[in-house]
Amino acid sequence: MPKKEVKKAVKKDMSKYGAKDISVLEGLEPVRKRPGMYIGSTGPDGLHHLIIEIFDNSRDEAMAGFCNNIEIVLLPGNRVRVADNGRGIPVDIHPKTKVSALETVMTTLHAGGKFGEGGYEVSGGLHGVGASVVNALSTFARAEVHRDGGKYIQEYKIGQKKAAVKKIAPSKKKGTIITFEPDVSIFKEVIFDMNRLVDHMRQQAYLVKELRITVLDAREYEGKIDLEDKKGGDRVFYFKELGLEVPSKAFYFEGGLVSLISFYNETQKPVHKHIFYVEKKHEEEGKETVGVEVALQYVDDISARIVPFANNIYNSEGGMHVTGFKTALTRHLNNYAKKSKLVKEADGNFTGDDVLEGLTVVISLKMHEIQFEGQTKAKLGSTEARGAVESIFGEAFSAFLEENPDDAKAIINKVTLALRARKAAKAAKDSVLRKGALEGMMLPGKLADCQTKDPNEAEIFIVEGDSAGGSAKMGRDRRTQAILPLRGKILNVERARIDKMIASKEIKALVIALGTSIGDTFDVEKVRYKKLIIATDADVDGAHITTLLLTLFYRYFKPVIEEGYLYVAQPPLYKIKQGKKIQYVYTEEEKIAIVGTDIPEISEDQEDEVEETEGDEIPTESVGKDTKGSKGPVRDSGKKKAQKFHIQRYKGLGEMNPEELWETTMDPETRTLKQITIKDAQGADKIFDTLMGAEVAPRKAFIQNNAKLAEIDI
């Protein structure tokens, strides 16, 4: 098309673009159009966030001092009920919207007590849009309010009211009850995880002292629950009065953050007796008042656990309150060490890393005008937070050290040990990784590297033993797949410092192969492979080696997991032959589905003997597939040729020849890999402490409590 004609066409199209082409989404339409903008996703995280949003409104009532009881119930039909004994959402007419305040809160974005001067002093929630967003994404929602001597209700469907707010009965109670049913056209799968809710609510109960939170799972009680309360009663907490024996968890902690520290450290050995705690408001003229609450304790460990909250929202990436805490902690421990002469001058000053080793701390900040970096609220950005925490914590911690000299001495000794270990580790690391893996150091001799230098294409198999390594090296795709065999069980890094780790040949080889370095020089951007695949034998020893490797990656290469680079291979358990047909089976259930339950396992060295008798006629039941191809044993009272199965149980990867290893475990087209993720970092940290830490008692208790769940390969 000539240039003149193109210009005319463009001009014509531009002339058509006007006000009529601008989409205006009214009411709650934006929420249904882009739900991810409001709840993060339409997967499990977003689904559970609906409950948290309604709960947050009740919790805000508790933080304001008007509520001490919250009940969350999973109901039949994908419904959820959240009840509290707070003041109840106002039901009088709102001066701006000209409808009930309850209707305004439930159907209007950015409407709530957290925006007005007479509302909450401190609030969490999602931009103040929680109730209306949940309403918009639900096919059914019902608000029930007890206040001013009456019981009021209003029902909704995908954010639209069914009728006006009305008083249906007198009531002597106070509180708000929200019941909702998520829209299955929005959410991929509506399955609520009771354990996930319990973990979150336990944490919230620690953060709000003397608040009772009860979580109940009544999904199996179809027809036994009077949701509508047609009798017109004024009960708020149904299950107290119904007397149903439903699975439930209740949390109530008078100790608050001190109780939370004890919970985190229950599998650890404390370094000092008393848990430090302070709660105080930081008031400065011309600046916002900031509530600061900090609890901490040192334990005999080398990892740090810093758990920060702002308005009861967990900040996984920290923020200004964490910065202020670290500054004050380092300064006051250095000051006390010098003043008390507990540290030699030759040792020098403590660094930020020294004072964090073995520390468990919870920092909780409460502000009215709070600012986060990004929509996820993972990082606190309010600048006032840094000075507030630095001042309040610093002053209180300095007094704690002076008033508890035995605790102070134990803490200083712990930090001094960390300082000396850091220097020893640095010297050991420098001698081994002086220039880094990619800057002059030769790659390990046992590593069979791949040809490509593009990390996006490259993958490394970390395999158990030389025999598996040999098969993997022969069967791999040399262009993209590297093989690193490890001999035996690597060092348990949960109990070792970096200097001992680097002295381990297997760990040293792995660190050099990855190219990221380790410790304070670790850089995930330098990783040489963006698929790190742990491939161990399908037995107890293989599971132990996998656990040791996962511990290493979690403690020292966590960004590798967070970036989604770490995987565990799933090799087959059985190889099943039937004539010329070969099948690889990955579970016991799959094997039974193919061969039934009456077939003995036959090792490779027995195959010739079985082949000789394969054509014999047997006058009893034969086992195999029927002519229609259905799986499982086939029963036939007549004579029939037996269809023999040859079953080989793989005890290790080394038993596979290169071709078998390739097509079952290494071929990107047919293999099965499990990606390692960190859904709950605090839970993961606790389980690593329990299973791999120095304390035997927690590990013994874990084994006793979970022994019946274990699948034992005898």
Residue 554 CA to residue 527 CA, distance in Å, equals: 16
Distances (CA, A) of 132 to 29, 106, 160, 190, 377: 11, 4, 10, 19, 20
Three-state secondary structure call for residue 584: strand
Instruction: Pick the catalytic residue from 61, 103, 407, 537.
Output: 537
DSSP 456: T
Distances (CA, A) of 98 to 27, 52, 90, 145, 244: 15, 29, 13, 19, 42
Residue 147 CA to residue 66 CA, distance in Å, equals: 13
Three-state secondary structure of 180-245: EEECCCCCCCCCCCHHHHHHHHHHHHHHCCCCEEEEEECCCCCCCCCCCCCCCCCCCCHHHHHCCC
Residue 402 CA to residue 422 CA, distance in Å, equals: 27
DSSP 640-656: EE----EEEE---GGGS
Catalytic residue flag (residue 541): yes
Residue 275 CA to residue 121 CA, distance in Å, equals: 29
Instruction: Pick the catalytic residue from 155, 181, 199, 539.
Output: 539
Instruction: Pick the catalytic residue from 464, 494, 655, 689.
Output: 464
Backbone conformation region of residue 132, classed left if phi is above 0, alpha if psi is from -120 to 50, else beta: alpha
Nearest Cα neighbor of 51 from 33, 75, 86, 29 is 75
Backbone conformation region of residue 210, classed left if phi is above 0, alpha if psi is from -120 to 50, else beta: left
Query: Which residue carries 């468990």 as its tokens?
Result: 360
Three-state secondary structure call for residue 122: coil
Catalytic residue flag (residue 539): yes
Element (H, E) at 330: helix 320-340
Instruction: Pick the catalytic residue from 541, 663, 680, 695.
Output: 541
Strand order in the sheet with 646-649: 581-585, 574-578, 646-649
∠ CA(401), CA(418), CA(544), 5° rounding? Answer: 125
Catalytic residues: 464, 537, 539, 541
